[in-house]
Amino acid sequence: MRYPLPLGVLLASALLGGCASGPQQLAGAWINQPAIDAAADSGRLRESLLAYGPTLEWRFAPQRYTAWSSDGVAIAEGHLAAGDDEQWRVTFHADQQESLQLDGDELIQQPSASSPEQRFVAAEATEDSQPGQAFEQALYAALLGGDWEVLEGAGQDGLVRFHPDGRVEGLPGVAQYALCLSGECAGRSAEEEIIWLQNGEQGGEWLFRLADDQLSIFQADNQALHSDAPQYRPGRRVWLLERD
């Protein structure tokens, strides 16, 4: 399981560079905007990612003929090569291949044995960011962006801001957050979404429910035996926030 709390440097500036000999127009980061839009509209994060994923971001370094894909937990690296009919192929381990094609301002990942058709838009990415971070930050901004008033809980009547880089301001006892996108954590709650809240070296999983512009954060009560994977249901509601 990986929570994208402050993401460290994984790749050098070659991620964003390019040269004339490669498919230069692919260079940089491409994010799954339909998945972000669906999550922001419905408040159902993991459901939206399942419906429009599994690939959440592509990153290309044409001068190295290298591509990376992220599903929110794992990062896969593959070889980028030109294909037929203005398409590109990315070959991963075990000869798994994905075909890609530009359609105007969109990048289309063609249907394959492992995934349906998916569409991506170009996104800004810094030279020291790792694959998946551009998607995460765009998602965080769309889902939790803005100012939230504390209606119930510690810090009542104060304002909370969730920053796209995982920082939190105004939520007592919390400095950073991360959302469960996929992987092991995704199966730990049947209905509510899972959020990781951290302050210093201390952190843990909580449940949240987003309905319109109200955000409820609950204690995560584990119903599983100690030897089993956690199975959470909502406990006491710790915070109720409303977006201005």
Whole-angstrom Cα distance, residue 195 to residue 204?
8
Boundaries of every domain in the chain: 13-129, 145-243
Whole-angstrom Cα distance, residue 144 to residue 124?
19
**Neighbouring residues of 220: CB distance < 8 A, sequence distance ≥ 6:** 188, 189, 194, 204, 205, 206, 207, 230, 232, 234, 235
What is the value of pTM for the model shown?
0.88
Top CATH class of 13-129 equals mainly beta
- The residue type found at 20 is A
- What is the Cα 195 distance to its own chain's centre? 12
Per-residue pLDDT of the chain (244 residues; tens, 9 = 90+): 445 444 333 333 333 333 334 467 899 999 999 999 999 999 999 999 999 999 999 999 988 999 999 999 999 999 999 877 778 999 998 778 999 999 999 999 999 887 899 999 999 887 778 899 999 999 999 999 999 999 999 999 999 999 999 999 999 999 999 999 998 999 999 899 999 999 999 999 999 999 999 999 999 999 997 778 899 999 999 999 999 9
Helix (H) or strand (E) holding 239, with range, is strand 232-243
